Amino acid sequence: MGQNITRKILGAHLVEGQMTPGSEISIRIDQTLTQDATGTMAYLAFENFGLKKVKTELSVSYVDHNTLQDGFENADDHEYLKTVAQKFGIYFSRPGNGICHQVHSERFAVPGKTLLGSDSHTPSSGALGMIAIGAGGMSVALAMAGQPFPLVMPQVINVRLTGSLMPGAAAKDVILELLRRMTVKGGVGKVIEYSGPGVLTLGIPERRTITNMGAELGLTTSLFPSDRITYEFMKNQGRENDWVELQADEDVAYDEQIELNLSEIEPLIAKPHLPDQVVKVRDLKDTSVQQVFIGSCTNSSYKDLAKAAFILNGKSVHPDVSLSIAPGSRQVFEMIARDGILQKLISSGARILESCCGPCIGAGQSPPSGGVSLRTSNRNFVGRSGTKDAQVFLASPEVAAASALTGRITDPRDLSGLDMAGLHQIQETNQVIVDDRMILAPPETGEHIEVRRGPNIKPMPLGKELTQEIKGEVLLKTGDHITTDDIMPAGTAILSLRSNIPAISEYVFSKMDRGFAQRAKEKNGGLIVAGENYGQGSSREHAALGPLYLGIKAVLAKSFARIHHDNLINYGILPLRFKNNTDYDRILPGDVLRIADVRQQVEKGSFLVENVTQGVTFEAIATLSERQKELILDGGQLNFIKKRTKA
Ligand code: F3S
């Protein structure tokens, strides 16, 4: 029996474990990436390990999330990130150079290698045939220290692509169609591997749009073969020597099979407030739009912007619409300027932003109250745009540009006078501008470098060794699908405090429960009770660090999103699941819960939880590997490593 690409790469990097779906394995990590919102914590953790240099083949620190400098905080962070990168042998992509996933795929991604990134859309680089996985900053810090990365061996789903996209349809519609079919939970514990004749009809930026939003399916990662399209892309980037071919063997078997005919896909759109609320664009054609944003790591390639410019060319943005555009990288920005695309965008009335995450993370361009924002980004959770009651829709750049002209959600095929054949012919440029001056290479040795720490850089809080009893109040009871945005909101004011945990912890759950932080402090910590898929969305580990600082000892949920589950363990917060979900219904906010003999129960993985207030007992479970049990007992990753370093 032949092997699929996933097993080939994982097998070549396997350090421990059996590659049977569901078993824990650990793999060697070749490359890491961080972005500024999670990077400061990753490097603060890394500094604790006492190493002179990272042990990976390549590590890159990007500044793309919070690039606005309207106070000293971000500037302090950027200085810290730059100097810590130089000290420890890490490449530093300066603010303005672009969004981590766009730049990484352009300049660093290599087929067949493994990449661990402290950003949930790290799987974007799977477009080039990498195993690229999103994780918390602590996991990335450990990978930089040369530690193998533990993960549960995923099932591999094959999505076989046939046909080719019709005029008006885009790569975004391919992944929206998969979200429609599989939902935001459908990919948990799985990898998608794309194959079939349709693959060769998609360029690397299109493949990247698809692998990028695999994160929204909950996948561990997704990847494409490395073929002649990959070779051409890397050659245009001056990196053909890094190319290797990667294909699944012919007689390969997959755990699951999905057929997708690209010719049958039509323009789709995700409605508020989840990316799987997908309908046809034409079904919403009378919906007014106040804001359009074209950008983010999902859709800000040269071809994306060239298509938008083709639609906008010679016309004006609707007077009731604000259109903003952020090119994904400085490379894309320079090339659209060279080729006259930027001029067409500006002339139409578009507002051009720098190459960064910007509106995607709620950093600028928030929609008006109650407004409708149509975005090419990947997430439309409540409040993520910076406006609590905004209605955010997700669609392709073609739909976004057409809607910016009409002021209504518009299928580009319905735009009168649009040359659909001309639009369809637009391709990625082969004349790529390669200029890495905004990427600072580290010096041979960093021993002489002094790390600069402004007042916004505070030490990382440490968890405490697990005691024999957990007892505390249910400080909050939430419903299903709580995102890391809900736990620790995005937005510039908050993000600028990401290196200052005492200050940022004041915002924990502030979107849904203003008094949470105060209550947690008054009660000396406590527990959180949650529904399904707790902690979905961004990999933001501040969603674990903030609660840790406030004294949260355990989260009791119906189920957890993978990265957040790992983050809780890394910081020593016990993630428990209800054995019977009916017990969730009985718990009331304010109930006092007690777990005795916790250390023994961690070893067993099953728990008896006493609801002291109601006088009842129920069962809970924790899915912890042997290593994770040790982490929880020690009070998190840093204590675990420190203890062993001392020993
Ligand atoms: Fe940035 Fe949004 Fe992507 S915050 S990394 S553009 S998901």
pLDDT tens, residue by residue, 550-576: 999 999 999 999 889 999 999 999 999
> Residues 458-468, buried b or exposed e (16+ Cβ, 10 A)?
bebbbbeebee
297 lines ligand 1 (CB under 6 A): yes
Tell me what the pLDDT averaged over the chain comes to: 95
- Residues β-bridged to residue 222: 192
Residue 585 CA to ligand 1 center (angstroms) comes to 35
Q: What is the pLDDT of residues 406-449, one digit of tens each?
A: 999 999 999 999 999 999 999 999 999 999 999 999 999 999 99
pLDDT of the residue at 645: 58
pLDDT at position 646 over 60: no
Strands 606-611 and 616-621: what pairing? antiparallel
Whether residue 484 has its Cβ less than 6 Å from ligand 1: no
What pLDDT sits at residue 280? 98
- Among 38, 62, 65, 329, residue to substitute to test ligand 1 (most atoms within 8 Å of Cβ): 65
ipTM of the modeled complex: 0.99
User: Residues 124-129: what's their mean pLDDT?
Assistant: 98
Does 248 have pLDDT greater than 60? yes
What SS3 state is found at 609?
Answer: strand
Residue of minimum CA distance from atom 2 in ligand 1 = 360
Residue among 121, 332, 353 to mutate when testing ligand 1 (max atoms within 8 A of CB) = 121
Residue 464 pLDDT greater than 90, yes or no: no
pLDDT for the residue 3: 96
Q: Which two tokens stand for residue 101?
A: 């996933």
Q: Is the peptide bond before 273 cis (omega within 30 degrees of 0)?
A: yes
Q: Which residues does 615 contact at the CB level (< 8 Å), separation at least 6? A: none
Give pLDDT, residue 68: 84
Average pLDDT over residues 469-497: 91
Q: Is 590 exposed, middle or buried (0-12, 13-18, 19+ CB in 10 A)?
A: middle
Q: How confident is the model at residue 647 (pLDDT cuts 50, 70, 90)?
A: very low
Q: In terms of C-beta density within 10 A (0-12 exposed, 13-18 middle, 19 or more buried), how is residue 421 classed?
A: exposed
Tell me, in angstroms, the distance from the centre of ligand 1 to residue 357's CA. 5
Length of the chain (residues): 647
Is the Cβ atom of 360 under 6 angstroms away from ligand 1?
A: yes
| Banded pLDDT at 97 (limits 50, 70, 90) | very high
Contact 172, 263 (CB under 8 A): no
Q: Is 125 in the pocket of ligand 1 (CB under 6 A)?
A: no
539 has a pLDDT exceeding 90: no
Separation CA 293–CA 272 (nearest Å): 15
Share of the chain above pLDDT 70, in %: 99
Distance 577 CA to ligand 1 centre (A): 30
Mean pLDDT of 244-268: 97
Q: Which helix (H) or strand (E) holds 560?
A: none
Cα–Cα distance measured from residue 384 to residue 382, given in angstroms and rounded to the nearest whole number:
6
Where does the pLDDT of residue 578 fall: very low under 50, low under 70, confident under 90, or very high at 90 and above?
very high
Give dist(CA 168, CA 266) in Å, integer: 7
Average pLDDT over residues 75-95: 97
- Using alpha carbons, list the distances in angstroms from residue 111 to 246, 351, 488: 7, 36, 34
At residue 525, what is the residue type? G
Write phi, then psi, for 122 (nearest 5 degrees): -55, -35
121 lines ligand 1 (CB under 6 A): yes
Confidence of residue 379 (pLDDT cuts 50, 70, 90): very high
Bridge-based pairing of strands 391-394 and 58-62 is: unpaired
- Tell me the CA distances in angstroms from 501 to 44, 45, 68, 490, 571, one per residue in order: 12, 13, 20, 14, 13
Closest CA to 27 of 121, 98, 110, 115: 115
pLDDT, tens digit, 9 for 90 and up, residues 380-390: 998 889 899 99
**How confident is the model over 609-630, as a mean pLDDT?**
96
